[in-house]
Amino acid sequence: MQSKTFFSQIAYTFALAVCVVLAAFFLYMAFPKSKIESTAFSASSSAFYAQKTELSPIPKGSVGAPVRLKIPSIKVDARFEYVNLTSKGLIGAPKSSAKVGWFSRSSRPGDSGSAIVDGHSGYRDDRQGAFDNLGKIRKGDKVYVLDDKGATIAFVVREIKIYDRNESAEDIFGSEDGKSHLNLITCTGDWNVSAKTRDDRLVVFTDRI
Per-residue pLDDT band for 71 (boundaries 50, 70, 90) equals very high
Residue 86 binned pLDDT confidence (cut-offs 50, 70, 90): confident
pLDDT, tens digit (0-9, with 9 covering 90-100), for 170-187: 778 776 788 999 999 988
pLDDT (average), residues 47-53: 34
Query: Per-residue pLDDT averaged across 89-94, rounded?
Result: 84
* H-type alpha helices, 31-117: 47-52
Do 44 and 116 lie in one domain? The reply is yes
- The verdict on 102 and 145 lying in the same domain is yes
When mean pLDDT is compared across 24-38, 80-94, 98-112, 176-190, the lowest value belongs to 24-38
Confidence at 200, pLDDT banded by 50, 70, 90:
confident
CA torsion 118-122-126-128 (nearest 10°) is 40
Instruction: Note the pLDDT of residue 54.
Output: 39
Question: Which of 35-39, 78-82, 122-126, 174-178 is predicted least confidently?
Answer: 35-39
> Are residues 18 and 103 located together in one domain of the fold?
no
Assess whether 89 and 134 both reside in one domain: yes
Same domain, 96 and 132: yes
Distance between CA 148 and CA 144 in Å, rounded?
13
Domain count, the chain: 2
Do 60 and 5 lie in a common domain? Answer: no
Question: What domain range is 3 assigned to?
Answer: 1-30
Query: Which CATH number do you get for residue 124?
Result: 2.40.260.10
Share of the chain above pLDDT 90, in %: 41
Q: What percent of the chain has pLDDT over 70?
A: 60
Residues 117 and 128 in one domain: yes
Whether 114 shows a pLDDT value over 90: the answer reads yes
Give yes or no for a contact between 195 and 69, defined as CB atoms under 8 angstroms apart. no
pLDDT at 169: 66
pLDDT, average across residues 68-97: 91
Residues 149, 145: Cα–Cα separation, whole Å: 11
**Is residue 196 over pLDDT 70?**
no
